[in-house]
């Protein structure tokens, strides 16, 4: 059990040290020393509009649920868990935002939906944008395009099947709760599930469009942040390939097999950058400067935690 708990850390740092053993570390450090500091600092500033737009998106979702907080409060609630997300697999610590709402009397199902759908919006954008981007470089990713097309098609079919048979799914869920969940937890789970589904039902096409627009706009600033970091190290490549590479590493950071993307981000960057003739040392330097910038931003977010700490309920 203890080994399983620390497995993401072992995987991430294991991959990281394996990569370090295969590169010229002194050259990587030399590249980092030549970082253009004004560009690096400008890149850091781009993080704030990114998260401000994400805050607006979360506020919009909560408003639809009739959950009302001031924009200032929501911004603090969004930023405060980020340092914890940095040290948890898949940034799962950021889901701590649910506790703010739950502590204020909202049900777990209603609270969780707002945070879940906020994160889900990012994942859907990355999957769709990454999938479309792959077609620009089909000569390298023919097999991956075929596999993802099959996976997406299957996911759509399952979704349509669930919609068509939603009454049967509801009966199956109730049967499972009545027969396989302890009685003392049964009513609580039913209530939270009801609130989660009720929150999902309020979303109309207009609402989805607004959420998608805020998500896309936030990623414009997010990609610009990554771009400024790249040119601060003198990295140059075709814009569409760069966007595809960044989309992939953002998505990899969300996969709960490591923390802060350590190891997995390095591996992906080394592989993708090698396709366009960029050295392993420069790829690792870029990965390192991403980690440094995220860590610095997390220190800023500690101020939000001090201002609005979350109380965990047992």
State residue 3's pLDDT score.
Answer: 55
Q: Which helix (H) or strand (E) holds 182?
A: none
- Helix/strand number for the chain, H first, E second: 14, 0
By the 8 A CB rule, do 15 and 263 touch? yes
Tell me the whole-structure pTM to 2 decimals.
0.83
Could you tell me the two tokens for 124?
Answer: 């859907």
What are residue 18's phi and psi, to 5 degrees? -65, -45
pLDDT digits (tens, 9 = 90+) for 194-215: 667 777 778 888 998 999 999 9
State residue 187's pLDDT score.
Answer: 60
State residue 215's pLDDT score.
Answer: 95
With CA atoms as reference, report the closest residue to 247 among 89, 135, 158: 135
Could you tell me the two tokens for 78?
Answer: 């969004």
Could you tell me the two tokens for 58?
Answer: 């979360």
Q: What is d(CA 99, CA 97) in angstroms, rounded to the nearest whole number?
A: 5
By the 8 A CB rule, do 85 and 93 touch? yes
Conformational region of residue 313, where left means phi above 0, alpha means psi within -120 to 50, and beta covers everything else: beta
Write down how long the chain is.
Answer: 314
Angle at 17 between CA 13 and CA 19, to 5 degrees: 115
Question: Is the alpha carbon torsion for 227, 25, 260, 146 positive or negative?
Answer: positive
Confidence of residue 188 (pLDDT cuts 50, 70, 90): low
State residue 166's pLDDT score.
Answer: 61
Confidence of residue 169 (pLDDT cuts 50, 70, 90): low
Dmax (CA) of the chain? 63
Q: Which helix (H) or strand (E) holds 6?
A: helix 2-20
By the 8 A CB rule, do 27 and 276 touch? no
By the 8 A CB rule, do 267 and 13 touch? no
- Higher pLDDT residue, 165 or 161? 161
The residue assigned the tokens 């781009």 is 46
Q: What is d(CA 216, CA 129) in angstroms, rounded to the nearest whole number?
A: 10
Q: What is d(CA 308, CA 197) in angstroms, rounded to the nearest whole number?
A: 29
Instruction: Tell me how far the alpha carbon of residue 65 is from its chain's centroid.
Output: 23
Q: What is the CA radius of gyration of the chain?
A: 21
Confidence of residue 135 (pLDDT cuts 50, 70, 90): confident
With CA atoms as reference, report the closest residue to 219 among 88, 129, 117: 129
- Higher pLDDT residue, 79 or 171? 79
- Higher pLDDT residue, 228 or 257? 228
Check whether 88 has a pLDDT greater than 80.
no
Check whether 176 has a pLDDT greater than 70.
no
pLDDT digits (tens, 9 = 90+) for 243-287: 888 988 888 777 766 777 788 888 889 988 988 889 999 999 999
């Amino acid at each position: 059990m203890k080994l399983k708990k620390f497995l993401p850390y072992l995987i991430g740092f294991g991959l990281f040290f394996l990569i370090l053993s295969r590169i010229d570390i002194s050259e990587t450090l030399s590249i980092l020393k030549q970082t253009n500091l004004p560009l690096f600092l400008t890149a850091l500033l781009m993080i704030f509009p990114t998260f401000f737009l994400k805050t607006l998106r979360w506020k919009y979702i909560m408003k639809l649920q009739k959950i009302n907080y001031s924009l200032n409060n929501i911004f603090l609630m969004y930023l405060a868990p980020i340092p914890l997300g940095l040290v948890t697999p898949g940034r799962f610590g950021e889901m701590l935002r649910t506790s703010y709402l739950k502590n204020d009397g909202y049900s777990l199902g209603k609270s969780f939906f707002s945070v879940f759908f906020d994160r889900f919006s990012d994942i859907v954008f990355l999957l769709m944008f990454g999938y479309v981007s792959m077609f620009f470089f089909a000569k390298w990713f023919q097999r991956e395009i075929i596999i993802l097309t099959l996976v997406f098609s299957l996911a759509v079919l399952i979704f349509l099947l669930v919609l068509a048979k939603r009454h049967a799914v509801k009966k199956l869920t109730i049967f499972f709760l009545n027969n396989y969940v302890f009685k003392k937890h049964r009513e609580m789970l039913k209530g939270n599930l009801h609130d989660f589904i009720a929150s999902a039902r309020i979303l109309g096409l207009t609402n989805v469009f607004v959420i998608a627009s805020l998500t896309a706009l936030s990623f414009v600033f997010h990609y610009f942040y990554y771009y400024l970091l790249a040119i601060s190290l003198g990295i140059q490549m075709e814009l569409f390939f760069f966007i595809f590479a960044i989309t992939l590493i953002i998505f990899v950071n969300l996969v709960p097999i490591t923390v802060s993307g350590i190891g997995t981000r390095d591996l992906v960057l080394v592989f993708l950058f090698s396709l366009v003739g960029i050295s392993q040392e420069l790829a690792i330097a870029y990965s390192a400067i991403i980690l440094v910038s995220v860590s610095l931003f997390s220190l800023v977010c500690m101020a939000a935690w001090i201002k609005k700490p979350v109380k965990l309920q047992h």
